[in-house]
């Protein structure tokens, strides 16, 4: 029974670390500050045609 708990705990830790790594790198890749720096939107621009 102890082996089951240790295995489960190890799996949860591995999932948390890998999920955190994926979220971290996605946040780095999808940095919204870059979008505003590259494509500046002035206050008088409108999306309506």
Residue 3 domain-assigned (yes or no): yes
Residue 44 domain-assigned (yes or no): no
| pTM for the full predicted model | 0.60
Domain ranges, residue 10: 1-25
Each residue of 1-49: pLDDT tens digit? 999 999 999 999 999 999 999 999 999 888 777 766 776 776 666 665 5
Residue 13 domain-assigned (yes or no): yes
Query: What's the sign of the alpha-carbon dihedral 13, 18, 22, 24?
Result: positive
Number of domains in the chain: 1
Residue 33 domain-assigned (yes or no): no
Residue 17 domain-assigned (yes or no): yes
Residue 12 domain-assigned (yes or no): yes
């Amino acid at each position: 029974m102890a082996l089951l708990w240790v295995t489960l705990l190890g799996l949860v830790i591995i999932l948390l670390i890998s999920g955190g790594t994926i979220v971290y790198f996605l946040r780095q890749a999808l940095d919204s500050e870059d979008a505003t720096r590259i494509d500046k939107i002035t206050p008088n621009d409108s999306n309506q045609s």
